[in-house]
Amino acid sequence: MSAAPPSTQPLFAQTPRRLAFMAAPTHEARAELDRLVAHYGNCHPGDAEIIVCLGGDGFMLETLRVVLETQLTAPVYGMNCGSVGFLMNPMNEEDLPERLFHAQAATLHPLRMTATTRDNETHEALALNDVYLFRQTRQAAKLRIDVDGLVRVPELICDGALLATPAGSTAYNLSAHGPIVPLSGNLLPLTPICAFRPRRWRGALLPSTAHVGFTVMESEKRPVAAVADSVEVRDVTSVQVREDRNLTVTLLFDPGQTLSERIAEEQFSA
């Protein structure tokens, strides 16, 4: 999910009033939903100026996928009712329309995964964090990795591999010792997960225009699954991943707490 730098100009000529609230199925998020709807009302997402997402990062990713798949145009503002809340703003019910008026925007593009299974079925899914492959059994996976049609890694023996967006570079990618990428860097980290051979390969930084192909070798003996955020496809034989710049979603953040700033802070955290 590459992005343009956050805008410092207001998105709206006047304070937005048409808000659509979407809440995770948790007690805390549902309670906040009831309070916010009672205070500010609730409209259909298709008629909203802003969609307000109540939950954690996982529910935010689900909400953004719904926005992309249903071609909604309203930006999304997250309020944290979860654990980490990297993609969210602090929960604060007071003066919400005024805060939304001053929010700063980050325009994002997702990754598109096309996965083929052993049954020769094709599955497509969008990812706003990462696309990763992982072994389904005790057997290590064997993967071949192509970039723009050229074989770059003939055989990677590993638990798996992932291609992350800049925003997703601070998530699973960072845990797998991949690099953090600035939001405006137009780069995609390609990172192995517990590589056995070649043991010293630490991955690569690819341009956002790259088309990455994963081929599963010995797929019956060493079955592999592919995941685009929360969409999982089992028993894949090949996976193609590229950034889809025809699709756009806008995320809103409080001033001084933009996604770009959060990613920068991660690079200096202990």
On whether 168 is known to bind a ligand per the annotation, the reply is no
Q: Which residue has the tokens 């997703």?
A: 168
List the one residue out of 131, 170, 130 whose CA is nearest residue 259: 170
On whether 132 is known to bind a ligand per the annotation, the reply is no
On whether 246 is known to bind a ligand per the annotation, the reply is no
On whether 130 is known to bind a ligand per the annotation, the reply is yes
On whether 57 is known to bind a ligand per the annotation, the reply is yes
On whether 167 is known to bind a ligand per the annotation, the reply is yes
On whether 170 is known to bind a ligand per the annotation, the reply is yes
On whether 171 is known to bind a ligand per the annotation, the reply is yes
User: Where in the sequence numbering do the catalytic residues fall?
Assistant: 57
On whether 173 is known to bind a ligand per the annotation, the reply is yes
List the one residue out of 92, 102, 87 whose CA is nearest residue 251: 87
Residue 256: CB partners within 8 Å, gap ≥ 6?
none
Q: Could you tell me the end-to-end alpha-carbon distance of the chain, in angstroms, rounded to an integer?
A: 25
- Give the annotated binding-site residues for NAD(+): 57-58, 129-130, 159, 167, 170-175
